[in-house]
Amino acid sequence: MDFTPLHETKIHGIVAFPYSVYHGRIPEWLSSFPLHWHDDFELIFCVQGQMQATLWGRVYTLRAGDLVLVLPHGVHSMGQSGSEKGEYYNIMFHPSLFKGTGEDPCYEKYVLPFLIGERTMEGFYPADSDFNREVSPCVQSLLACRRESYSTHELMIKSGLYLILHHMNQYSTTANAEDRCQQLSYNRLKNALFHVRKSYDHEITVKEAAGQCGFSESHFMKLFKEFTGMSFNAYLVDYRLELAAKQLVETDLKVIDVSYKYGYNSPTSFTQAFQLFHGVSPREARNRNVVLKVVPKMQISERYEYSWKLEQKDGFRLVGKSILMSCENNLPSRKIPEFWNTCQRDGTFAKLISMDTAAPKGIFPNATWAIFNCRGFVPQAIQKGWQYLNEEWLVKYPFQHAQCPEIEWYSNGNAYDSSYLSQIWIPIIQED
């Protein structure tokens, strides 16, 4: 059975112009859009009626003219506000739209701070707020020509997005330590969601889920309730009932077999829970005209999977140019690309390439390396790889770090190709 994957990596628009506008009506076209996150900026603009949006665990009610601004990686959802109906537009635009070729000081000054968490926004802007009044003319212009975006209106689209970016910088604030700590904690909660998706058909305790995130049980339960509005156990029950309904509709399995698969000791208890959640019995669920319920807050979009391996390598020597920097405040995300650009401009990179003729041993000792494959154009692919290591992999696999530097490896080929291969090498000490 297919499951909804976890971090959304869909390209909105086309590769050369990653921008798109989506039109929606709640609940006529869609009852809800579950909690998810992606790499794009997103504007949720309510044009009629009333709807609900959540952002980083906070719930907002949008009425005509209100908007929500979602920064890249912001965890958010949309849904119905009570029994009200709402009409809205989503404007999606990728940060790469603002990036020129080579070194781009404007991108580094005005876009990158949003991507690495240095600058932040309130998120919800009612129709009468100052920021909303500033950007609404741009939003209305983007909506007016949404059908022609990729053919004749590219310049107008980009000029509107640059103006929105200007106002974002005017109204943004420096992210404080408390905001960063909260968002990091929420990001780590994603590990529990991934674990539920993989092990939903086994017993999962709160202690086990908390361990996936590196939290104590009490802290995990508090954060999970803040993040989702429900307890972890309630979410797990609802998620299993959602999958059970999907299996009843898509297969010919008997109700008794489905009930045992999803953790119920008897068909009777399963039927009672199923009817309470979906409003129909398991047998009635097989009627094609029945609308079944989905978990409203935790059916998350697509996740990028990183392949990795442990590999023992003999000692070797590297020749290069070094730089020292702090790892605080996501500084490497800014400084490493700057360092690359400097080395390319002053000829250092070309000189090092010309010296790449042999592999003598000497400086790096024999070591075991955890090697991660990163696919996609640089530097975004390698930065996402580091984010995955820090937020997920190190929580699950707390290896001891060996006394060697970490390495980024870049293959030959087009570094701007979507399938370009780069690697992160982490030296580790394997326990006997």
Q: What is the reported pLDDT for 2?
A: 42
Q: What is the reported pLDDT for 3?
A: 43
Instruction: Tell me: do 169 and 191 sit in the same domain.
Output: no
Q: What is the reported pLDDT for 133?
A: 96
Judge whether 79 lies within some domain.
Answer: yes
Q: Which helix (H) or strand (E) holds 424?
A: strand 421-429
Average pLDDT across each block of 10 residues of the chain; the chain has 432 residues. List them in order: 47 75 85 78 96 88 96 86 91 90 83 88 94 95 78 86 96 82 74 82 90 88 80 87 83 89 89 87 74 47 58 78 74 74 76 65 70 82 80 66 84 76 85 56
b/e per residue, 265-291, with b = 16+ CB within 10 A? eebeebbebbeebbebebeebbeeeee
Give the chain's domain count. 3
Q: Which helix (H) or strand (E) holds 367?
A: strand 367-375
Helices (H), 305-362: 331-345, 348-354
Instruction: Tell me: do 43 and 123 sit in the same domain.
Output: yes
Judge whether 313 lies within some domain.
Answer: yes
Instruction: Tell me: do 264 and 386 sit in the same domain.
Output: no
Give CA–CA dist 113/97, Å, rounded: 15
Q: What is the reported pLDDT for 134?
A: 96
Judge whether 345 lies within some domain.
Answer: no
Instruction: Tell me: do 95 and 150 sit in the same domain.
Output: yes
Beta carbons within 10 angstroms of residue 324's beta carbon: 4
Instruction: Tell me: do 29 and 114 sit in the same domain.
Output: yes
Q: Assign residue 85 the CATH number of its domain.
A: 2.60.120.280
Judge whether 248 lies within some domain.
Answer: yes
* DSSP-assigned letters across all residues of 267-296: HHHHHHHHHHHHSS-TTGGGSTTPPPP--T
Instruction: Tell me: do 190 and 168 sit in the same domain.
Output: no
Helices (H), 348-391: 348-354, 380-388
Instruction: Tell me: do 97 and 168 sit in the same domain.
Output: yes
Instruction: Tell me: do 165 and 69 sit in the same domain.
Output: yes
* Helices 217-228 and 177-199, axial angle in degrees (round to 10): 90
Q: What is the reported pLDDT for 297?
A: 39
Judge whether 52 lies within some domain.
Answer: yes
Q: What is the reported pLDDT for 149?
A: 61
Instruction: Tell me: do 376 and 410 sit in the same domain.
Output: yes
Instruction: Tell me: do 31 and 118 sit in the same domain.
Output: yes
Q: Among all chains, which residue has been given the structure tokens 């696919």?
A: 375
Q: What is the reported pLDDT for 432?
A: 52
Structural domain ending residue among the three candidates 146, 173, 200 = 173
Judge whether 324 lies within some domain.
Answer: no
Specify the DSSP class assigned to residue 150: T
Residue 147 belongs to domain spanning: 19-173
Q: What is the reported pLDDT for 208?
A: 92
Is residue 388 exposed (0-12), middle (13-18) or buried (19+ Cβ within 10 Å)? Answer: buried
Structural domain ending residue among the three candidates 145, 173, 201 = 173
* DSSP-assigned letters across all residues of 163-230: HHHHHHHHH-EEPPHHHHHHHHHHHHHHHHHHHHHHHTTS---HHHHHHHHT--HHHHHHHHHHHHSS
Instruction: Tell me: do 80 and 189 sit in the same domain.
Output: no
Judge whether 2 lies within some domain.
Answer: no
Instruction: Tell me: do 150 and 236 sit in the same domain.
Output: no
Judge whether 338 lies within some domain.
Answer: no
Structural domain ending residue among the three candidates 139, 173, 207 = 173
Is residue 206 within 8 Å of residue 217, measured between CB atoms? Answer: yes
Q: Assign residue 273 the CATH number of its domain.
A: 1.10.10.60
Q: Assign residue 410 the CATH number of its domain.
A: 3.20.80.10
